[in-house]
Structure 1
């Protein structure tokens, strides 16, 4: 059971669970939840364990219910929908629907190893969400096992359905605190259009951030990613792609090839050049695939430099430059490395605070920097989490972002659906009233 104590956030405050339930059906989940409710045993729901906010961290006396074996998938090409169990991986879903000439857009960087259930639980995003939206934009229906063991269905395979309260939206992003998702109905799009890619290198983060703001204002790119020098060098050490180690910032932008005249592509190159890019040009598909793979590998690449505290703060796009400058100041003040990369086109960033796990003083400074970055994002009118979820690691800053009244309303919903507080205690909400 050791492997089920935490998710990829590697929270050190874990315990061995009483048991791990390897559910293979909704009925299995119901049996486990009813037993736990009867005996007052906490439940930690779990998907593939790739979460980055500690949302699958065990607590004392808990059982873990994992949906990793629930992997059924059924595509309806006529309605462009798919019914899928939560254990299927994002990449597997993409491959299955592609066989029917369809496309499921949400694509977290971890799409090859993360599960659809986990994506729904955290409302995951990804590289293409700047144009095509996040997980919540594709969820039409859910089957959810509630805290008393009942299995309830919300929504279904309809594009428009406003009968009753929007319960589907309530459960998407709820991180297993309101119920355990056992089946998901998703809408699909026609096959992904061909796309073209621009790579641009800058001598300063401010130049790149200004380019991002202008690009995002004028067009809807299908991808607009940012990496700083530290991230680029970590990826280059990791993969050896021939990246420009000396550049201060890197933008990877994409457009769907729907305009035969390539006006959006030309506009991206023009804007990057106007903001001082040392180079900005279209790259051929094989090179584009390498660069995209490099961007997706940023987290594991930076992890090779030491232990990391990973964030996913977001700010309004025009304030991305202020966020970058503020994080650089926090890094200097605390004398710790902070690697920065971002889904820049929607303002969602991933600062990684790097430290030596054996150096207690450095760890203290890293933890202080971690909190200061979230405080900075809130001050800029942003969020402490754009796509990874609050989990346990970001919970101390939630009140500062949403305020007392909003937190009280959310607590009321939690209490109404889980009066005994057995579902994922400590995730989003404290285990006891603050």
Structure 2
């Protein structure tokens, strides 16, 4: 039996941390918050690690493993942390490969192979392979963030396994670091090992092959004949029959071993040619059973994939704004279940014929006219996004009851699928719950999650009972109890009932041959803890909300303690969509730093630990929480792009408010927060503020005193600031709109507000301005106050503004996204009630208003093209398409949206010296290269004040607000 050679040091042992710092070049993460962020994956478990190492090289990994071997400390390799079963949590030193060990070592296009480091994300790999016309075909729904090393650890499969097989079928070799310090490339080796194989490795291989020969008969009898079998170790690769059939590659044994046998320093992969054309048929079924029964017939059409979307997913998807329109296009009538049948090829005509055959088959099955043809690439991409978000859509249920992963990926033969799923639904019903179903109907591996409350001991008991009944059913159908997501904690204990005691002992023999001291991820696959040991749960028996926490905002949309705040934070299920390597806004600080701490998931975990007292008393105001949130730019990207709706920008306000209450705020933050109050005076003497950037030495002094980066120029106050008196007061007459002058455009770029008034007037509207009482300062939505955590002061400003704007029913039009959208987003949280909701409903960006009303404007050409960068809040609220559409009104103007995340300026963030490097890194990811590449006669457009300043500061190009372009085009 595996026993560590020494007693493992305590969690956070400073001596071990110091040694790792001295003897490796990696980043050593050792605080309670660091450990807490790595204590969870996408499973139900939470196990605090000893500490975390982020290696910069494989040499760092070798050194760390040597230290751990001497100290008797277990080692846990970790990729994207998206495991469903608890593979990537353990009382061990976690080695996070995703920051630095993510390069493509080599590509051989002729041989169709690639060698990669373990931390590269699948999406990033396939992006790099495109120029060769190749791709790696194993495609889990987490493809944009799961790593190749993690996929090998779990023997991942994905939707196209019916065509390309599993990870084990596509890994040709693994350069492995073993627990004893040796290193060897496990691959397809001859029966007679050469002299170049070290004696220790040769002995290991011979022992393994002898075990395979000895247990060949038992393996043949007990291993399910299913494509989707990823439980236990791949002992079948060790048998003489496998070697004779060309399936004796020793890398197959390491694939699926969940980091328990070796560390993968590099992986050799089989690549496949890209098929550039695709066609989808979305088949509608009146019942779930009908869809299951049809699967065995649909696969005879030789599709690339057949994926299930059930009624629960349809309904939940419609409730999420980012998916609603796609779901509506996917369904015809009110089906109970959908099967998405996917065909790939080189040309369109054969794919169209395949869809014709699909329609004929569906008619033969009794469902004529039930196929929605999906040919348009944009629609296909949207469908893929919905399908890939299946897990997160299911997890968007609010409240403590959630779909729980523990029997998620059992696989049975297709002829048995309808009966198996029906019987399993009956099991759920007997236990007073229901299951959510989705995913791989093509291979009989449906992801099913019963809805249970893991905080309830009764539901924990039901989980065990359901698991035992489900696995008994799977064995009856000669299926596999682990068809994609591996064993981890949740299924390892069931390997013996699944495979029998003799195979279970063989699994242990393999583990002991590779790792006799139990160094590598102990307790997974073999000698596992009980799956329902609540001490290992994220919601462990002592888990409870800190009663001392009183939220500053309204979180009542989420049930639970702390006014719903903890429930909102717990919506993060750790699946890591925020780690995606491309597209969208989320999460800009993580893209720049690649640190788990600066990720929406990492921040949510930090907040959850703080709100439940796991980081000590008053932790919401602590340095640990502040450090996690410091680089959050409140872009609101997660508000829209996180499938479970984790709104970190709003959560940051809570943490900032708690910190401000306990510690107050410094002079710099107070200066920025109160800018709308003192800006009227600064605009009367703008030369005083401008002196900072003109008089030598003052910029450096401002950096020392206030933290403003000396190399940054600050916004210039304008003597001709916009005055409310330039427009009439509202009177509620027909055709009236109320222009909302935000502080940034009012005092820094008043020409934008004047352009908005002129465009609206040209469109036929009476433009008015709501005014405060005589002598009072202009209205302010409190955006800058909220950013500093001064919630009560922001609430007072919101109340003043709400009173002024609620008196008139006119649309309220703004041009600065961060300001106007505060009326839509934060006002209802600051001032719960009908008045704030009514204002939110009629608060529109100018582009949204014009898109809705479609007024006639006489416009003339102004430029050949405009490259437009979307403000993060525009994207979060789905308003960016309206900005693009508004520019498209200009004759002859080619509108070219820039694919970018946050510009990196983000209010005052980019002006601060401590954030300067990260601010620049965010801009350099995609925005600045696109701006620099734009021809000189093309316009650069950005509707955010900060975005325009960042572009000017770092590229030298002048960016215009879109309303200025429209004003220039007025005939």
Please give the TM-score of this superposition, normalised by the length of structure 1.
0.92
Question: 74-83 or 85-94: which moved more?
Answer: 74-83
What is the distance in 2 between the residues matched to 1:379 and 1:227? 26
What is the distance in 2 between the residues matched to 1:234 and 1:368? 27
Which of 295, 311, 321 aligns to 1:229? It is: 311
What is the distance in 1 between the residues matched to 2:314 and 2:419? 21
Q: Is 1:395 the counterpart of 2:492 in the alignment? A: yes
**Corresponding residue for 1:208?**
291
Which of 118, 134, 137 aligns to 1:102? It is: 134
Q: Structure 1 residues 90, 349: CA separation in 2 closer, same or farther (over 3 Å shift)?
A: same
Q: What SS is found at the alignment partner of 1:83?
A: strand
**In the TM superposition, what whole-angstrom CA distance separates every residue of 1:268-305 from its partner, at most 9, and x where no partner exists?**
22222322337124222232322222111110111111
Retained in 2: the 8 A contact 1:227–1:340? Answer: yes
Q: Structure 1 residues 143, 27: CA separation in 2 closer, same or farther (over 3 Å shift)?
A: same
Q: Is 1:272 the counterpart of 2:272 in the alignment? A: no
What is the distance in 1 between the residues matched to 2:189 and 2:274? 25
What is the distance in 1 between the residues matched to 2:287 and 2:256? 35
Which of 347, 365, 383 aligns to 2:480? It is: 383
What is the distance in 2 between the residues matched to 1:272 and 1:427? 44
What is the distance in 1 between the residues matched to 2:470 and 2:127? 37
**Count, aligned residues:** 423
- Offset at residue 79 of structure 1 (A): 2.3
- Offset at residue 106 of structure 1 (A): 1.0
Retained in 2: the 8 A contact 1:229–1:246? Answer: no
What is the distance in 2 between the residues matched to 1:98 and 1:122? 25
What is the distance in 2 between the residues matched to 1:162 and 1:235? 52
- Offset at residue 161 of structure 1 (A): 6.3
**Corresponding residue for 2:94?**
64
Which of 104, 109, 129 aligns to 2:161? It is: 129
Q: Structure 1 residues 400, 128: CA separation in 2 closer, same or farther (over 3 Å shift)?
A: same
Q: Which has the higher strand share?
A: 1
**In the TM superposition, what whole-angstrom CA distance separates every residue of 1:235-289 from its partner, at most 9, and x where no partner exists?**
2223213154832211000112357344433222222232233712422223232
Q: What SS is found at the alignment partner of 2:340?
A: strand
- Offset at residue 77 of structure 1 (A): 2.0
Q: What SS is found at the alignment partner of 2:152?
A: helix
Following superposition of structure 1 onto structure 2, how do residues 9-408 of structure 1 map, counting pairs within 5 Å?
9-12=43-46, 14=47, 16-59=48-91, 62-68=92-98, 69-73=100-104, 74-155=106-187, 162=190, 166-216=249-299, 218-238=300-320, 239-240=323-324, 241=326, 242=328, 243-244=330-331, 246-258=334-346, 260-261=349-350, 262-277=352-367, 279-285=370-376, 286-305=378-397, 306-310=401-405, 311-408=408-505
- Offset at residue 98 of structure 1 (A): 0.7
Q: Structure 1 residues 333, 246: CA separation in 2 closer, same or farther (over 3 Å shift)?
A: farther
Retained in 1: the 8 A contact 2:404–2:450? Answer: yes
**In the TM superposition, what whole-angstrom CA distance separates every residue of 1:53-91 from its partner, at most 9, and x where no partner exists?**
1101212xx211222221111322232211110101010
- Offset at residue 31 of structure 1 (A): 1.1
What is the distance in 2 between the residues matched to 1:400 and 1:237? 41
Q: Determine which structure has more spread, i.e. the larger CA radius of gyration.
A: 2
**In the TM superposition, what whole-angstrom CA distance separates every residue of 1:152-191 from its partner, at most 9, and x where no partner exists?**
1123xxxx86565631111011111101111011121122
Retained in 2: the 8 A contact 1:334–1:366? Answer: no
- Offset at residue 138 of structure 1 (A): 1.6
**Cα RMSD (Å):** 2.0
What is the distance in 2 between the residues matched to 1:363 and 1:418? 33
Which of 523, 543, 549 aligns to 1:426? It is: 523
Retained in 2: the 8 A contact 1:197–1:255? Answer: yes
- Offset at residue 369 of structure 1 (A): 2.4
Retained in 1: the 8 A contact 2:283–2:339? Answer: yes
Q: Structure 1 residues 100, 257: CA separation in 2 closer, same or farther (over 3 Å shift)?
A: closer
Retained in 2: the 8 A contact 1:125–1:387? Answer: yes
**In the TM superposition, what whole-angstrom CA distance separates every residue of 1:179-215 from its partner, at most 9, and x where no partner exists?**
1111011121122231211001101122212221012
What is the distance in 2 between the residues matched to 1:232 and 1:326? 23
Retained in 1: the 8 A contact 2:403–2:436? Answer: no
Q: Which has the higher helix share?
A: 2
Q: Structure 1 residues 162, 340: CA separation in 2 closer, same or farther (over 3 Å shift)?
A: farther
Question: 135-144 or 243-252: which moved more?
Answer: 243-252
What is the distance in 2 between the residues matched to 1:207 and 1:272? 11
What is the distance in 1 between the residues matched to 2:291 and 2:118? 38
Q: Structure 1 residues 431, 42: CA separation in 2 closer, same or farther (over 3 Å shift)?
A: farther
Question: 391-400 or 239-248: which moved more?
Answer: 239-248
What is the distance in 2 between the residues matched to 1:410 and 1:396? 12
Q: What SS is found at the alignment partner of 1:246?
A: coil
What is the distance in 2 between the residues matched to 1:95 and 1:346? 27
* Larger relative contact order, structure 1 or 2 (CA cutoff 8 Å, min sep 6): 1
**In the TM superposition, what whole-angstrom CA distance separates every residue of 1:10-32 from its partner, at most 9, and x where no partner exists?**
314x1x32221212222111111
Unpaired stretches in structure 2, ≥5 consecutive residues = 1-34, 194-247, 530-971
What is the distance in 2 between the residues matched to 1:96 and 1:80? 14
Please give the TM-score of this superposition, normalised by the length of structure 2.
0.42
- Offset at residue 131 of structure 1 (A): 1.2
